[in-house]
Structures are given as C-alpha cells and as structure tokens.
C-alpha cells in the first residue's frame, strides 16, 4: 500500500487519509486522539446496528418499487466495518439500496461521505467536500482500511455482552 499522510483534515473529528499518489483517498479514519471510544454495549444498542439487523428481514420488493432484498454479505460487511473501525463515527444514516447493497452516509458540515457495501468485503466510497464540488470515488477491501483496532471484530450476537466487558 502506498505511503499515506493526512493532507487536509475535514474537521477536528473526521479526517481523510490521502495517498501520495494522485491524492486519492484510500481510507477514512477518525482522529482517535479526540474521541472517546464507545463501549460495545452502547454500540450494540445504537440505531445503526438496530437498522442493520432489521435489513436482514426485508424481502424482495421491500419498497414496493422492485428493490432487491439486501444481500446478507453486504449486511455482514457493514457490521464488520462498523465494528472494526469503531473510532470512525457511526454513520448518520444507513439504508439498503435498491440493488441489494447497504449504504452508510456521513454528513460532516458541507462534506458528504458514503460507503456502499456491495458484498465480497468491498467498500465503494463516494465523497464530496462541498455542496457543489465534484464527487470523488474510490474502492477498497474492508481489510485494507487502516487497522485502528485490528483485533476488534464483530462478535456473534450471543457474545456481545461478554465482548463489551472485555473491551
């Protein structure tokens, strides 16, 4: 992976890491120095996680407009991303897309970030730094993202309570 550096902080709390080559972002990380880690027990109860679980119950045509049911692997990838990169703020909104993927969105002032979990561990990012600016796209495997807490993986539901104590 190319050496990277923080080129332009997007806010005190949310920064993008940009690769040296072509200034294309390869990941989005949270400035952990100003962040209080969310205990897993609180995390489990968040609306985002509740929403993700509910998506697995949707069936084809869930929107009455012909949408495909969310793919389980997309839901699983979204879970893994949120758990693995817990210092990244929870998405402001998380929704299924009409073609079976999961879309997470962050609104940071005028900056817009989205991560689309399309399955196979692939995250498709899209970002816009201002309301009228150009969009930027990049794609990566979940495992390629900066490992802030590499040992933190999404535990099975039955172990959440135990895991939160361990955390």
Partner 1 sequence: MEEFDPVNERESLLRRIPNQPSHYDSKQHLPITRVAFEPSQKDTDGISVFRELFSSASQVAQGARTPNDCYVASIYARRFFSLDLSVVPDPDPNQPRGHALVREIHTKMDKKLRKELGKKLADIASENIVFSPPSIIQLK
Size of the site for partner 1 (CB under 8 A): 27
CA nearest neighbour of 93 among 125, 52, 59: 52
85's CB contacts (< 8 A; 6+ apart) are 29, 30, 145, 146, 148
- Contact letters for partner 1, residues 15-44 (x by CB under 8 A): ------------------------------
CB-nearer residue toward partner 1: 20 or 110: 110
> Dihedral (C-alpha) 49, 91, 167, 123: value to the nearest 10 degrees?
90
Q: Is residue 11 a contact point for partner 1 (CB under 8 A)?
A: no
CA nearest neighbour of 17 among 9, 128, 52: 9
What DSSP element (H or E) covers 111?
strand 111-119
Among the listed residues 41, 42, 110, 135, the single contact to partner 1 using CB under 8 A = 135
Q: Is residue 150 a contact point for partner 1 (CB under 8 A)?
A: no
CB-nearer residue toward partner 1: 40 or 117: 117
Residues β-bridged to residue 105: 93, 114
- Contact letters for partner 1, residues 88-117 (x by CB under 8 A): ----xx-xxxxx---x-x-x----x-x-x-
Which residues are at the interface with partner 1 (CB under 8 A)? 51, 62-68, 92-93, 95-99, 103, 105, 107, 112, 114, 116, 124, 126, 128, 131, 135, 137
């Amino acid at each position: 992976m190319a050496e990277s550096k923080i080129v332009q902080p997007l806010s005190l709390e949310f920064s993008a890491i940009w690769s040296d080559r072509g200034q294309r972002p390869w990941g989005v990380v949270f400035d952990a120095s100003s962040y209080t880690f969310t205990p897993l027990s609180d995390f489990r109860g968040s609306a985002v996680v509740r929403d993700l679980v509910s998506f697995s119950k949707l069936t084809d045509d869930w929107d009455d407009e012909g949408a495909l049911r969310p793919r389980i692997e997309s839901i699983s990838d979204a879970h893994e991303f949120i758990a693995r990169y817990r210092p990244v703020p929870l998405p402001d909104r998380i929704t299924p897309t009409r073609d079976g993927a999961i879309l997470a969105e962050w609104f940071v002032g005028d900056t817009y970030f989205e991560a689309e979990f399309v399955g196979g561990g692939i995250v498709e990012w899209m970002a816009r730094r201002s309301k009228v600016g150009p969009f930027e796209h990049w794609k990566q495997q979940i495992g390629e993202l900066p490992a802030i807490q590499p040992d933190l993986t999404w535990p099975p539901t039955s172990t959440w309570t135990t895991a939160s104590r361990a955390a």
